[in-house]
């Protein structure tokens, strides 16, 4: 099944694009062969092979798939180890990945993704940003403490899609020196 698709990914600069970073991490960790094309500006959206002009987009043979969760699910069909193998842990990992993917707008608004930068904390956080930081800590503490296999340093032991989805949010905490105590 792994050989069924020829994979190419069209991305924005993942230094400042959550979805492109997430998608690239999933593909890179899958071990599958793929071609990558980075579009430096919005012009790339018009030249990428996707009907709605949205990046990132994975082209699996001739089928364009956009959105980092949708791309991740296709890659997980080809490489099931990208989700935890235990059904309960897999369900929790999917729930967390979807919560992070669709939420944390307080962090995203106040703290733009910048993997190359390192900045002082922006002073007092907004209530929404503070709530997001608390929720991030809660998720990490809860699931790192409950992983039954205990193998590996990631949220559910071994690296999985949820870690790729979490990376841009966690990177902001480091980039902006946010106190998590």
pLDDT in tens, 142-169: 988 676 556 788 999 999 999 999 999 9
71 and 152 housed in the same domain: no
d(CA 104, CA 84): 23
* In a shared domain, residues 115 and 125: yes
Flag whether 180 is in a domain.
Answer: no
54, 105: one domain: no
Q: What is the CA radius of gyration of the chain?
A: 17
What value does the mean pLDDT of the chain take?
89
> Is 132 contained in some domain?
yes
Chain-centroid distance, C-alpha 88? 21
Please give the model's pTM, rounded to 2 decimal places. 0.90
For the segment 117-128, the average pLDDT, to the nearest whole number, is: 90
Structure confidence at residue 55 as a pLDDT band (50, 70, 90): confident
């Amino acid at each position: 099944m792994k050989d069924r698709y020829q994979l190419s990914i069209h991305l924005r600069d993942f230094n400042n694009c959550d979805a492109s970073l997430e998608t690239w991490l999933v593909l890179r960790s899958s071990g599958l062969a793929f071609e990558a094309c980075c579009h430096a500006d919005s012009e790339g959206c018009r030249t990428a092979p996707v009907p709605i002009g949205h990046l990132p987009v994975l082209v699996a043979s001739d089928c364009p798939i956009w959105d980092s969760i949708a791309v991740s699910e296709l890659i997980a069909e080809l490489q099931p180890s990208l989700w935890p193998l235990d059904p309960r842990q897999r369900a929790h990992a999917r729930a967390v990945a979807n919560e992070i993917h669709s939420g944390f707008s307080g962090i995203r608004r106040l703290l733009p993704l910048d993997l190359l930068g390192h900045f002082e904390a922006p002073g007092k956080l907004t209530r929404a940003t503070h709530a997001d930081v608390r929720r991030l800590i809660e998720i990490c503490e809860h699931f790192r403490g409950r992983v039954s296999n205990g193998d590996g340093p990631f949220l559910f032991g071994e690296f999985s899609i949820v870690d790729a989805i979490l990376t841009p949010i966690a990177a902001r905490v480091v980039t902006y020196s946010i106190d998590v105590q």
